[in-house]
Structure formats: C-alpha cells, structure tokens
Amino acid sequence: MVLLSVLFLILGFFGLYFGAKLVIIGLENIAGRFHISHLMVGLTILSIGTSLPEIAVSIMGGLDKIMGIDPNIDGIVIGNKVGSFLIQISLIIGILAVSHPIFVSKWELRREGPMLFISILVFLFFSLDGILTQFEALLMIIIYFIYLSLVIWSERRLTKIKLGSNYIEKERLDIVGFEPIESPHKTSSIFKDICIFLIGLFILVFAAEITLLSSHDLSKEFHIPENVVGILIVGFGTSLPELVADLTAIRRESYGIAVGDILGSNICDILLATGSGAIIINFNVPRIILFFDIPVLFLALSIALYFLWSQKTLKRWEGILLISFYCVYTILKLSIFQI
C-alpha cells in the first residue's frame, strides 16, 4: 500500500510537470504570435503557467472536500502554497544562483518586492482566525488580478520610455526583457497551440487529484501531519515546473523571464492559487503554519530580497546560503514544528 502510494505520488508529480510544460508551450507559442516581451511573459504567462500545479491542487482539493472524498485535505492544500513559496524563494532561487549569478533590476524589486510581502500579509490576516473563507478567497483573487493589471500597465509604460544608457545602468535593467519573445516551440497553427494548451490542462487536473490522494494516504500511513506533507513533499513537487522553466530560461540567457517568474510565481501561488481552492469551500489553516512557517517565510523572503537589492547579481555563495537556510528549516520542521 505504501509503495503504491509513493508510485502514484511520483506519477502525479510527473503529470503536474508535463501538464504544466504543455500549457506553457502552448502559451509561449501564442505569446510569440503577439510579440509579447520577455518580461511580460515572465510576470504573467510563465508565472501563472508554472503555478498551474498549485492552482490545480487547490481546485481539486476544494472539490474533494466539498464532495466528501477527503474532508480533511486542508493541511495539504494550504501547506502546499506556503511550502511552494518558501521552496521557490530559498531553495530554487539558491539553485539558480549556484547555476548562474542572477541579474535583477531595481525597477522589478521596487514593484514586486513589496507585493511579495503584501501577499503574505493578506494571507496571514485572513487566516488568523484559523479559517480561510470563500469571501476572503474572492478578495485574494481580486487583489492578484489588480496587481497583474498594474504589472501590465507599468511594463507597457516603461517600454514607451526612451531608455538611455544612464537609465539602464542606474536601474539595472535587463534590456533583453523588453524585447519580443520568440518561442522556441514552433507549431503550424493557432489551433495546434490551443490543443497543446488544453491537453496540458487535462493532464494537470488528473495529476493534481492523484497527487492529493496519494499524499493523504502517505500522511495516514506514516502518521505525519498533513501540513508537513503539503509543505515539504507536495510543495516540492509542485515547484518543479518553476525550477525547470527558470533553469531553461537562464541557459537561453533569458534572465528577464527567470527573474520575472521567481517573483511573479510566488505572488500567484499565495493569492491566486490559494484563493482558487478556498473560493469553492472554506479551508482550515493549521495553527503551526501561522506561528512557525509564515514567520520563517518572512525571514527567507527578507534575506533573498536583501541579497538581490544589495548587489547587482545574486552571487553563488548567496545561493548556497539560501539553500542551507531551507535545509535548516526542513530539519526544524521535521524534528520540532510539525503540529
């Protein structure tokens, strides 16, 4: 039974990855047809696309709970969002920095940095009573799309500004980020792009259900609290698309996409992904997440943004420090702060 649950969990992770990959391929092709910039793709299409596993897990978790398939799925779903955010801002960004020093602009940090903190504060404020209601979930989704609208407006405004060499150097702008994206995936028609997108979406939904059910079974088999499974196991699995997509972007020297995805995906996870499930049915938020994991998340985010702001790049030794931070957190979570 345990072996079967592990196999289904691995199958679910593969499905989440390949489903998200197909969706992103379809969206990248469509973006290429409309000459959308690298930065816009990173902050919108790629950040939402790589967050689709978290969104799918939330929606399927909400449906499972409302249909009585798994009434106690809350810990896995909520833990998944917090865990995914923490993994991306420490482990994944650390791996990316070790792979290649990450370039980031002050302009992006001034816009996305505060929003990252705001998104956590919104989640924390709504969850202080231990319940994330459908109305609060709706507000979280609205806040995310207001942010997304501001991103689109500011990106378009910046592209209209005459970017002189002094301004580019002062703001640390990656000028490639404002150039139109050329998708590496060539297809013959818009119909084929849409089909790729829909097939990926179907795989995502199916894989999310497998992941949820197998994670719940493992939690019961090993007597591990569901919030721990959601944060450490499901959170890691749903973060794989971000890691692969960002490493691929860095290899192609598309640093605007990589940085935009790191920042935008976290905001999407905590607001849109969490809200997508909680709008179906109220979710209970484990107290340990509020009193341990969220403060750790604040600390990790502060360290990562400080490194990004203080230097022109996120250096390899800083990446190693962020990876070490996540390892220490994991040890404390497993040994002390489970419930």
Compute the distance between CA of residue 106 and CA of residue 32 in angstroms, rounded to an integer.
Answer: 27
What is the model's pTM? 0.85
Q: Which residues constitute the domain of residue 274?
A: 39-59+75-178+223-335
Q: What are phi and psi of 4, to 5 degrees?
A: -65, -40
Sign for the pseudo-dihedral over CA of 145, 150, 153, 156: negative
Asked whether residue 69 is domain-assigned, the answer is no
Listed residue (303, 302, 308) closest to 255, CA to CA: 308
Asked whether residue 287 is domain-assigned, the answer is yes
Asked whether residue 273 is domain-assigned, the answer is yes
Asked whether residue 305 is domain-assigned, the answer is yes
How many domains does the chain divide into?
A: 1
Compute the distance between CA of residue 3 and CA of residue 14 in angstroms, rounded to an integer.
Answer: 17
Contacts 24+ apart (CB under 8 A), 154-162: 154/111, 155/37, 155/39, 155/40, 155/43, 158/107, 159/37
| pLDDT, tens only, 119-132 | 999 999 999 999 99
Q: Per the structure block, which two tokens stand in for 91?
A: 């482990």
CATH number of the domain within which 274 lies = 1.20.1420.30
Compute the distance between CA of residue 42 and CA of residue 262 in angstroms, rounded to an integer.
Answer: 8
Asked whether residue 122 is domain-assigned, the answer is yes
Asked whether residue 193 is domain-assigned, the answer is no
Compute the distance between CA of residue 120 and CA of residue 290 in angstroms, rounded to an integer.
Answer: 11
Listed residue (250, 234, 30, 268) closest to 145, CA to CA: 268
Identify residue 126 by its one-letter amino acid code. Answer: F
Asked whether residue 33 is domain-assigned, the answer is no
Listed residue (93, 57, 102) closest to 76, CA to CA: 57
Asked whether residue 2 is domain-assigned, the answer is no
| pLDDT, tens only, 21-60 | 888 787 777 766 666 665 566 556 766 777 888 899 999 9
pLDDT of residue 25: 80
Compute the distance between CA of residue 78 and CA of residue 226 in angstroms, rounded to an integer.
Answer: 10
- pLDDT score of 89 more than 60: yes
